[in-house]
Amino acid sequence: MPKTGVFLDRDDTIIKDRIYLDNPADIEILPGAGDAIRALNSKGVPAIIITNQSGIARGLFDEERLHEIHLELMSMLADMGAMIDAVYYCPHHPEGIIDEYRKTCPCRKPEPGLLYRAAEDFCLDLNSCYMVGDKPMDVETIHRVGGKGILLTPWQDRTESQTADFTARDLVEAVQWILEDINS
């Protein structure tokens, strides 16, 4: 049976979006996110963060600081009994001010480079994987590799996305749908 994984955008999917979050103390986990991730953990489904972090290319923070932020996020989730299996991020942006990060690359969503890396690391069949995010770009990213995309639309008209395989109010509803879809 193909191995399924769930890719999760970070900002406004797991945590409240703080434009260019640069301080671990500012992390605010969204209601239900810990429960949703714990539900994936209980079924043995890898929960993997896939995130663009152009703040690095823009010179707003460095990779060491991003690592601190992700360690704090994982610690906060662990306190809720939830575990993220891995975090993959793209530090690049074509308009960045830091030379080594100023580029167009295959890992920046909607390009699927990070998905390919995670699939190799976790032996995942991308056709049987899911991605949850708050932007149509997240849906496009997983569609480029044949998986299913769930768009979080907590405040918008839920009929807005014609491309998402499912629209959900929050991560809890998205994970419920994923687990039902896996078992169907």
Q: What is the pLDDT of residue 26?
A: 97
CATH fold of 6-182: Rossmann fold (3.40.50)
What was the pLDDT predicted at 124?
A: 97
Q: What is the pLDDT of residue 163?
A: 87
Considering the entire predicted model, what is its pTM?
0.94
Domain boundaries, the chain: 6-182
DSSP structure string for the chain: -PPP-EEE-SBTTTB---TT---GGG--BPTTHHHHHHHHHHTT--EEEEEE-TTTTTTSS-HHHHHHHHHHHHHHHHHTT----EEEEE---TT-SSGGG-S--TTSTTS-HHHHHHHHHHT--GGG-EEEESSHHHHHHHHTTT-EEEEE-SSS-TT--SS-SEEESSHHHHHHHHHHHHT-
Whether residue 183 contacts residue 176, with contact meaning beta carbons closer than 8 Å, is answered with: no
**pLDDT for 155:** 58
Predicted local confidence at residue 184, as pLDDT: 87
Kindly give the confidence (pLDDT) of every residue in the chain, 184 residues in length, as a single tens digit, with 9 standing for 90 and above: 569 999 999 999 999 999 899 999 999 999 999 999 999 999 999 999 999 999 999 999 999 999 999 999 999 999 999 999 999 999 999 999 999 999 999 999 999 999 999 999 999 999 999 999 999 999 999 999 999 999 998 655 555 556 899 999 999 999 999 999 998 8
In this prediction, residue 1 carries a pLDDT of: 54
* pLDDT confidence of residue 41: 98
pLDDT of residue 134: 94
Q: Give the residue from 87, 85, 88 showing the smallest Cα distance to 37.
A: 85
Tracing tokens 């995670």 back to the chain, one arrives at 118
pLDDT in the model for residue 21 = 95
**Confidence at residue 152, expressed as pLDDT on a 0 to 100 scale:** 94
